[in-house]
Chain A
Amino acid sequence: DTAVSQTPKYLVTQMGNDKSIKCEQNLGHDTMYWYKQDSKKFLKIMFSYNNKELIINETVPNRFSPKSPDKAHLNLHINSLELGDSAVYFCASSQDWGRGSPLHFGNGTRLTVT
């Protein structure tokens, strides 16, 4: 069983479109995250949710809107996609609001905006 799963694995779309990426974890963790890995392989946190509540929002354009319907799911919706949004997006989870908890990552969603 995959602990943290994201769909889709690949997403190719045109500028201006709206798209969503889904994430689910079956680890019973309280905290979930979205990270962006750019073309230089640098990983940067975007959002963190603890028990469905937003706790971190790191200077991300408001075209990006996370939604957490329950503790096990954290979806990422992106409006009006731009070329610079092309990257790999990783979902992750941890047992609690991660100060001492290891993170578990999904396999990533490669988004290409043309």
Chain B
Amino acid sequence: KQEVTQIPAALSVPEGENLVLNCSFTDSAIYNLQWFRQDPGKGLTSLLLIQSSQREQTSGRLNASLDKSSGRSTLYIAASQPGDSATYLCAVSSRSNSGYALNFGKGTSLLVTP
């Protein structure tokens, strides 16, 4: 069964810092990996999706990498801003008994202070 772990569980940084969020998964036979952002009381917003054949994806100040063989992904946020404060979730799609499943980590709660 696929298990997804995110480290750290919480992170507080001053504005302007570059930071890295980590995600690891136990089964490397994945279809893709997706990073989401969740704001309090809101749904999830998709940030980046990396297919299993890709190594990284970039969107603005965000860069996500994927090392499928070692079961790891990182989300790099450059020049962090207070508006980046949210919970960041990693989700991995892989085969399950039902055919396909998207398994989430428990998230990293990020606080960027002015």
Q: Are A107 and B34 touching (Cβ within 8 A)?
A: no
Which of B13-21, B43-51, B66-74, B78-86 touches A? B43-51
Q: Are B101 and A41 touching (Cβ within 8 A)?
A: no
Residues of chain A within 8 A (CB-CB) of B11 are: none
Docked CA distance A41–B6 (Å): 13
Given A44-B104, A45-B101, A55-B98: A98 and B43 within 8 A (CB)? no
| The one of B31, B41, B45, B87 that contacts A41, using a Cβ cutoff of 8 Å | B87
Q: Are B104 and A90 touching (Cβ within 8 A)?
A: no
Docked CA distance A46–B36 (Å): 19
| The one of A40, A42, A57, A106 that contacts B98, using a Cβ cutoff of 8 Å | A57
Number of B residues whose C-beta is below 8 Å from A?
Answer: 25
**A86 CB, min distance to chain B CBs, angstroms:** 16
Q: Are B98 and A56 touching (Cβ within 8 A)?
A: yes
Q: How many contacts A-B (CB < 8 Å)? A: 64
Residues of chain B within 8 A (CB-CB) of A90 are: 43-44
| The one of A40, A45, A104, A108 that contacts B102, using a Cβ cutoff of 8 Å | A45
Chain A CB within 8 A of B93 CB: yes
Q: Are A99 and B104 touching (Cβ within 8 A)?
A: no
Chain B CB within 8 A of A97 CB: yes
Chain A CB within 8 A of B99 CB: yes
Q: Are A98 and B44 touching (Cβ within 8 A)?
A: no
Chain B CB within 8 A of A103 CB: yes
Residues of chain B within 8 A (CB-CB) of A102 are: 34, 46, 49
Chain B CB within 8 A of A83 CB: no
Chain A CB within 8 A of B89 CB: yes
A binding-site residues for B, Cβ under 8 Å = 4, 33, 40-45, 48, 55-58, 90, 92, 97-100, 102-108
Q: 5 tightest CB-CB pairs across the interface, nearest first?
A: A105-B43, A105-B44, A43-B104, A56-B98, A99-B31
